[in-house]
């Protein structure tokens, strides 16, 4: 749902005088055809290889925003450009309502979307002010990390040499102090698998600034940390980029745009998996706050960006939030409401942790997707101390690292195939609930299912994608397929049994869909572009 500003909207004088957040959307991009003919001009070699491996299309959204447009916007009086998004073809600006509204006069501007409830069609809320969303209390020998790892049977993956090697993870958080010096990440650094990072709010390479929040360091340790004989993260063999997108002491809409910008950079670098232990519901200024009804996967700017990330082949793992025991905003936050793998929290015995935000999404989808230990977990702080902490902030990386270790088994699997398999091997898959979603995944079971599916699978490929009317595919057997078509939010929009080699899509609108083919207990998924 878009929240574009209407030029004739009545606005009070007070609104005109204060500084506001807004997104300025552009009409087109330059040199799209040339860029798509030579993707190496806009994407890294690793990103192109990843997209080819998993059959992810490269399209106009991968082309950067027109820098000339940005320069013109920056030159306008009293306008500050804070961030940009190539996927959504926009920039995030600060300025008064009057000054921002004047940007509609620019011929290349297609729309203006204000973050404030009062300046768009989205209803106002009287929600209370948030304080801080980073709610946390502060042969492998797992030590004190054993329970949180063994609950998911991730240790079984490690025993079989699946530790995330070859998988690249981007961690989006509030700061990563001392990751370049403390012993817990020495193994990561010496292997050349700490690939770098960026501080988007400060436009700086100094993402490990010791003055920043330590939240990202704690989160990273749950995946990449290693202290011999005492601690092992769930993906000690993976490679990592670290991106600061969150400004810990404040809560403003620009953090959503920093997040989207960071995910776009991750995609261009060839990242496979995103972990984000952040969520957005209520802001310092209540006019910007979302309502529970907005958690539909389409309203929040960050959720729209997360949906595109999934379409682009990234597997996005998100903590659901720590508001389950609150009165007003008990349900999941953004971007956990998007088409992502959202993670709730349980205690050491696998029981629901009371603070973990609840599902379903506002449009009725199962949320959280899965759950992992988030109460009284063990992490490593910026001083190399093992500490106890609680929050879905930690359930998410514990799960994300496990997914990365599993994905190493078959990197050709698409993000959608991995997400679905993780759901299927979870403890409540046949009977999900609002507390734990599909439950706690069993990665030993996931490995067994993957091996079984591989042994039973037959080669399948699409003849033409993008598709205009008929989706045609080869059928290497005499048996038919069951075909299920999903939209980008994971909703089933078509089911067909006994499909031999084509299916009619002429009645569908232009866009991106996911087609799942099932035959003989094997399953393959493809992103479909409908022209």
- Is 423 domain-assigned? yes
8 A C-beta contact, residue 353 and residue 381: no
Residue 38 lies in a domain: no
Distance CA 202, CA 250 (A): 14
What stretches of 174-302 adopt beta strand conformation (E)? 194-199, 226-227, 231-232, 239-244, 273-276
Last residue of a domain, one of 425, 454, 483: 454
Q: What are phi and psi of 513, to 5 degrees?
A: -130, 165
The string of pLDDT tens digits covering residues 307-356 is: 999 999 999 999 999 999 998 899 999 999 999 999 999 999 999 999 99
Q: Give yes or no for a contact between 87 and 310, defined as CB atoms under 8 angstroms apart.
A: no
User: If you write DSSP's letter for every residue of 336-371 in order, what string do you get?
Assistant: TTSSSEEEEEE-TTSPBPTTSPB---TTS---SSEE
Structural domain boundaries, residue 481 = 470-530
* Domain final residue, candidates 428, 454, 480: 454
Contacts for 192 with CB less than 8 Å, ≥ 6 apart: none
3-state secondary structure of 92: strand
Catalogue the long-range contacts made by 525-528 (C-beta closer than 8 Å, 24 or more residues apart): 525/414, 525/416, 525/417, 525/420, 526/55, 526/414, 526/462, 526/465, 527/55, 527/56, 527/57, 527/311, 527/313, 527/414, 527/416, 527/465, 528/462, 528/465, 528/466, 528/467, 528/471, 528/485
Residue with tokens 């959608």: 416
Residue of 62, 99, 155, 173 with catalytic role: 173
Q: Verify that 306 and 336 share a domain, yes or no.
A: yes
Per-residue pLDDT band for 530 (boundaries 50, 70, 90) equals confident
How far, in Å, CA of 209 to CA of 195, rounded?
A: 16
Tell me: do 502 and 443 sit in the same domain.
no
Within-domain flag for 348: yes
CB atoms within 10 A of CB 94: 18
Q: Whose CA is closest to 1, among 86, 170, 126, 121?
A: 121
Is residue 350 located within the same domain as residue 426?
yes
Which pair of tokens denotes residue 145?
A: 């990390």
Average pLDDT value for residue range 355-382: 97
Q: Of how many residues is the chain composed?
A: 531
Active site residue 173: yes
Same domain, 268 and 416: yes
Q: Which helix (H) or strand (E) holds 513?
A: strand 511-519
Q: What percent of the chain has pLDDT over 90?
A: 70
Which pLDDT value is given to residue 206?
A: 95
178 lies in the same domain as 114: no
pLDDT band at 480 (very low <50, low <70, confident <90, very high): confident
Q: Per the structure block, which two tokens stand in for 479?
A: 């048996």
pLDDT tens column, 59-72: 999 999 999 999 99
464 found inside a domain = no
Pair of tokens at residue 347: 């205690």
Q: What is the pLDDT of residues 80-128, one digit of tens each?
A: 999 999 999 999 999 999 999 999 999 999 999 999 978 875 433 333 3
- Please indicate, yes or no, if residue 124 is contained in any of the structural domains: no
The span from the CA of 101 to the CA of 20, in Å, is 11
Does residue 136 or residue 482 have the better pLDDT? 482
Q: What does the pLDDT read at residue 29?
A: 92
State the average pLDDT for the chain. 89
CATH number at residue 327: 3.40.50.200
pLDDT at 453 exceeding the cut of 80: no
- pLDDT-derived band at 154 (thresholds 50, 70, 90) equals very high
pLDDT at 119: 83
Same domain, 447 and 474: no
Which is catalytic among the residues 99, 215, 405, 426? Answer: 215
CATH code for the domain of 96: 3.30.70.80
| Residue that finishes a domain, picked among 84, 103, 119 | 119
Is position 1 within any domain?
no
pLDDT in tens, 11-36: 333 444 689 999 999 999 988 999 99
Shared domain for 339 and 216, answered yes or no, is: yes
pLDDT confidence of residue 462: 73
Cβ-based burial of 195 (10 A; exposed 0-12, middle 13-18, buried ≥19)? middle
If asked whether residues 184 and 114 sit together in one domain, one would say no
Is there a single domain that holds both residue 263 and residue 194?
yes
Q: Are 438 and 423 within 8 A, CB to CB?
A: yes
Model confidence band, residue 454 (pLDDT cutoffs 50, 70, 90):
low
Q: CA–CA separation, 163 vs 179, rounded Å?
A: 20
User: What torsion, rounded to 10 degrees, do the Cα atoms 268, 274, 277, 279 define?
Assistant: 60
Q: In this predicted model, what pLDDT tens digit does every residue of 461-473 receive, in sequence order?
A: 776 667 778 887 8
Q: What span, in angstroms and rounded, lies between the C-alpha atoms of 406 and 404?
A: 5
Same domain (yes/no): 385, 237: yes
Residues 6+ apart with CB under 8 A from 39: 48, 58, 62
Cα(320)–Cα(322) distance, rounded to whole angstroms?
Answer: 7
Pair (185, 239) in one structural domain: yes
Classified as helix, coil or strand, 175 is coil
List C-alpha distances in Å: 262 to 207, 214, 246, 275, 342. Answer: 12, 19, 11, 12, 19
Q: Given 239, 393, 426, 525, which residue is catalytic?
A: 393
**Structural domain includes residue 213:** yes
Q: Is 393 a catalytic residue?
A: yes
Write the CATH number for 474.
2.60.40
Q: How many domains, in total, are found in the chain?
A: 3
111 plus 232 within the same structural domain: no
Nearest-10 Cα torsion for 68, 72, 78, 81: -20
136 found inside a domain: no
Q: Is 90 exceeded by the pLDDT of residue 298?
A: yes
215 catalytic, yes or no?
Answer: yes
């Amino acid at each position: 749902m878009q929240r574009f500003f209407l030029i004739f909207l009545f606005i009070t004088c007070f609104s005109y005088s204060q500084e506001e957040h807004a997104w300025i959307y552009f009409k087109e991009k330059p040199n799209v055809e040339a860029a798509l003919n030579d993707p190496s001009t806009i994407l890294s070699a690793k990103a192109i290889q990843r997209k080819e491996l998993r059959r992810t299309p490269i399209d106009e959204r991968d082309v950067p925003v027109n820098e000339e447009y940005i320069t013109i916007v920056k030159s306008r009086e009293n306008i500050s450009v804070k961030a940009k998004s190539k996927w959504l073809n926009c920039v995030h600006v600060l300025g008064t309502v009057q000054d921002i509204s004047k940007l509609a006069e620019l011929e290349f501007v297609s729309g203006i979307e204000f973050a404030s409830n009062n300046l768009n069609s989205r209803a106002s809320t009287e929600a209370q002010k948030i304080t801080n969303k980073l709610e946390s209390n502060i042969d492998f020998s797992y030590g004190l990390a054993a329970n949180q790892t063994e609950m998911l049977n991730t240790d079984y993956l490690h025993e079989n040499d699946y530790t995330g090697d070859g998988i690249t993870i981007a961690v989006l958080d509030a700061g990563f102090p001392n990751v370049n010096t403390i012993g817990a990440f020495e193994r990561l650094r010496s292997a050349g698998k700490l690939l770098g990072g960026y501080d988007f709010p400060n436009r700086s390479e100094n993402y490990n600034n010791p003055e920043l929040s330590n939240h990202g360091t704690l989160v990273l340790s749950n995946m990449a940390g290693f202290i011999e004989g005492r601690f092992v993260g769930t993906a000690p063999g993976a490679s990592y980029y670290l991106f600061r997108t969150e400004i810990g002491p404040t809560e403003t809409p620009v953090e959503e745009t920093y997040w989207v910008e960071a995910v776009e950079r991750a995609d261009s670098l060839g990242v496979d998996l995103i972990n984000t232990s952040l969520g957005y519901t209520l802001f310092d200024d209540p006019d910007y706050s979302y309502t529970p009804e907005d958690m539909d996967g389409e309203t929040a700017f960050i959720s729209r960006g997360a949906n595109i990330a999934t379409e682009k082949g990234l597997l996005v793992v998100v903590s659901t939030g720590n508001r389950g025991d609150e009165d007003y905003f008990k349900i999941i936050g953004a971007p956990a409401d998007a088409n992502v793998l959202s993670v709730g929290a349980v205690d050491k015995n696998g029981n629901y942790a009371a603070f973990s935000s609840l599902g379903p999404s506002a449009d009725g989808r199962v949320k959280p997707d899965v759950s992992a230990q988030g109460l009284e977990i063990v992490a490593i702080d910026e001083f190399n101390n093992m500490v106890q902490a609680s929050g879905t902030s930690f359930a998410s990386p514990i799960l994300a690292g496990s997914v990365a270790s599993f994905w190493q088994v078959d990197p050709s699997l698409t993000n959608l195939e991995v997400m679905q398999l993780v759901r299927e091997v979870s403890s409540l898959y046949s009977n999900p609930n609002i507390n734990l979603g599909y439950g706690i995944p069993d990665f030993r079971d996931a490995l067994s299912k993957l091996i079984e599916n591989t042994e039973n699978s037959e080669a399948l490929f699409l003849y033409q994608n993008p598709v205009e009317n008929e989706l045609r595919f080869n059928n290497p057997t005499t048996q038919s397929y069951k075909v299920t078509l999903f939209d980008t939010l994971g909703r089933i929009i078509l089911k067909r049994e006994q499909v031999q080699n084509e299916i009619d899509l002429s009645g569908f609108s232009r866009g991106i869909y996911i087609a799942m083919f099932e035959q003989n207990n094997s399953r393959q998924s493809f992103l479909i572009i409908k022209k």
